[in-house]
Structures are given as C-alpha cells and as structure tokens.
C-alpha cells in the first residue's frame, strides 16, 4: 500500500465513521441490549431481574397467543401487500393514460398516503360504524370490527387504502422515465396493447416493484397502529399482530424480558424477509 493509498483509506474511514458510529449507537447497541433483556426475567415493578436463559423462547414456542400473532402478522402482510402492489400498479397504469385531471388524481393519492395512520384508523372507525358507517350502508349491516371473520379483512382494506398510493406513485414515477421512443418502436413492430404491457412496461417496472415490495412488506410485518386503534387486537385476538403482542407485554404489563423476546422474534422475521428481498434485488443489480 502506498502512502497515498493509506491516506485515502484514512480519509475514507473518517468519512464513514460518523455514519457507522451513529448506527452503532442507535441501532446495534439497543439491538444487543434487547437481545440481552430477552434472556432475563425483568419486571421492574416487582424488582425482578434475573437471568433465565432461553425460558421465554421456550414458552413462546408453545404459546398459542404467540402463534396466533405470527399467523395474523403473516396473513395481514401477505394479503395487504399483494393487494397494494396489484392495485397500485393498476392505478399507475391508469394515471399514465389519463389526460385530464391527472394533477387532481395525484393530489388525492398523496392525501391518503400523507394522513397519519391514527387519523386513517379513526376515519375507518367511522366508515365501519355499525349503524352510521358508509361501508355498513354500502355492503349491508355487518359487524366489521366485532366479527372474528371480518375484523382482519376490515383492517386489510384500511391498510390497502392507506398505502396503495405509495406503490402507485413509485410506479408512476418510473413510468414517466420510460422514453416514448420505446413505445413507438413497439408500435412499429406491431405489438398490441397487451404485448406492450407484458413485454415492455412490466419488465421495466420490475425493479421498482421489487423496491416497493421490500418497503411494504417490512412495514406490514411491523403493523401496529391500525389494529391498535381500531380493534385493540380483538375480537378474540384475531387481529393481534406480533407488534401488538410485544407492546402489550412491554409497555402495558412491563414484562421487559418477555416482551423483548417477542421483539427479537419480530426482528429475526423482518431480517429474514429483508435478506431474501435484498438477494433478489442484488440479482436485479439494484443493490450493492
């Protein structure tokens, strides 16, 4: 290594140091601390702090409430993300064709996305209101938030309404960057609408869809606010996600050790999924 290279290297380290240190202080250290907490029985109110090893994880393995939360989280994420991607894509394609009122459509989309999720939840609380709600009026009197078979679909609808615009706007932005010559060439080659869509538009959208999928899945796996406000995890725990269960254990009942164990499981789950996506993205040449 020459002196020049060494100097460059030092400069490089100095430049990344603030970012690495910040990350270490804000993410790695608390992360390790949570891992350490999860191996303890720690309930400050009763001044209990003792090492219990993997006891909490062993209990979780046979805890029906935990497995229920895993199932709810998975179903919620899979269904809502699929719907969001499909609808978002359709909306983006529609926007591309739309001539008049595009600005208005974009603002309306942004509005849904920009609302704080607690506000969205309150909004849907009224939409699902058993006697005065709009959804109730349109689809007949159904017990949306109090029926174990309807509560989760009700929450998924709210989540799709709120985050579909995110996907739509991402896809729309990508569509704007496709040069018109590509489409002209397709027309000259005699490609029909369907062929244009499947062999030009969709392949070009592929990478942005993967990015949207990554963001949305990671968000959905940590879903909390909608269920917390609308159903509190009920009825019968049918909308209790892992994060709601962790919140109840950590903040409501102050079982810091047990709650941290759930937190670690959520972290592992998110990392697993994120790892899978990142590998896919790398194949697309999108991520370093």
Residues within the interface to other proteins (CB under 8 A): 14, 17-18, 21, 41, 43-48, 59, 64-65, 129-131, 143-148, 151, 231-238, 240, 248, 251-255
How far apart are CB 73 and other proteins at their closest, in Å? 15
- Residue 74 Cβ vs other proteins, minimum distance, rounded to whole Å: 18
Whats the size of the chain, residue-wise? 288
Q: Which of 37, 145 has the CB closer to other proteins? A: 145
Residue 148 or 203 with smaller CB distance to other proteins: 148
Based on CB atoms, which residue is closest to other proteins, 155 or 220?
155
- Give the nearer residue to other proteins in terms of CB position, either 31 or 237: 237
Is 46 or 100 the residue whose CB approaches other proteins more closely?
Answer: 46
Q: What is the largest CA-CA distance in the chain?
A: 78
**41 beta partners:** 50
Q: 96 or 136, CB closer to other proteins?
A: 136
Least distance between other proteins and beta carbon 81 (Å): 25
**Closer CB to other proteins, residue 94 or residue 137?**
137
CB 147 within 8 A of CB 163: no
Cα distance from N-terminal residue to C-terminal residue, the chain: 25
Least CB distance from residue 236 to other proteins, whole Å? 4
Q: How far apart are CB 235 and other proteins at their closest, in Å?
A: 4
For residue 83, the minimal CB distance to other proteins (Å) is: 23
- SS3 sequence, the chain? CCHHHHHHHHHHHHHHHHHHHHHHHHHHHHHHHHHHHCCEEEEHHHCEEEECCCHHHHHHHCCHHHHHHHHHHHHHHHHHHHHHHHHHHHHHHHHHHCCCCHHHHHHHHHHHHHCCHHHHHHHHHHHCCCCCCHHHHHHCCCCCCCCCCCHHHHHHHHHHHHHHHHHHHHHHHHHHCCCHHHHHHHHHCCCCHHHHHHHHHHHHHHHHHHHHHHHHHHHHHCCCHHHHHHCCCCCCCCCCCHHHHHHHHHHHCCCHHHHHHHHHHHHHHHHHHHHHHHHHHHHCCCCC
User: What's the min distance (Å) between Cβ of 79 and other proteins?
Assistant: 20
User: Residues near 288 by Cβ (< 8 Å), separated by ≥ 6?
Assistant: 282
Please say which residue, 69 or 209, places its beta carbon nearer to other proteins: 69
Shortest Å, Cβ 77 to other proteins = 21
């Amino acid at each position: 290594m020459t002196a020049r290279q060494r100097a460059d290297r030092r400069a490089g380290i100095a430049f990344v140091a603030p970012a690495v240190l910040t990350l270490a202080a804000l993410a790695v250290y608390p992360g390790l601390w949570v891992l350490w907490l999860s191996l303890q029985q720690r309930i400050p109110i009763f001044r209990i702090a003792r090492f219990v090893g993997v006891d909490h994880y062993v209990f979780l393995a046979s805890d029906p409430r935990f497995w229920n939360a895993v199932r709810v989280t998975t179903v919620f994420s899979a269904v809502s993300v699929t719907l969001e991607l499909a609808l978002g894509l359709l909306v983006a394609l529609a926007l591309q064709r739309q001539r008049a009122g595009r600005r208005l459509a974009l603002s309306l989309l942004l509005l849904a996305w920009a609302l704080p999720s607690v506000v969205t939840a309150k909004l849907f609380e009224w939409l699902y209101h058993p006697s005065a709600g709009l959804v109730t009026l349109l689809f007949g009197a159904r017990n949306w938030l109090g029926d174990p078979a309807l509560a989760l679909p009700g929450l998924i609808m709210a989540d799709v309404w709120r985050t579909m615009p995110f996907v739509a706007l991402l896809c729309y932005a990508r569509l704007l960057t496709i040069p018109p010559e590509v489409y002209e060439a397709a027309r000259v080659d005699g490609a029909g609408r369907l062929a244009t869509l499947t062999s030009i538009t969709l392949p070009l959208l592929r990478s942005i869809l993967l990015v949207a999928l990554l963001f949305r899945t990671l968000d959905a796996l940590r879903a909390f606010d909608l269920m917390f406000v609308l159903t509190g995890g009920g009825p019968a725990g049918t909308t209790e996600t892992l994060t709601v269960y962790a919140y109840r254990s950590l903040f409501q009942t102050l079982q810091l050790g047990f709650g941290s164990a759930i937190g670690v499981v959520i972290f592992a789950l998110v990392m697993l999924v994120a790892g899978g996506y990142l590998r896919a993205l790398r194949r697309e040449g999108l991520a370093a």
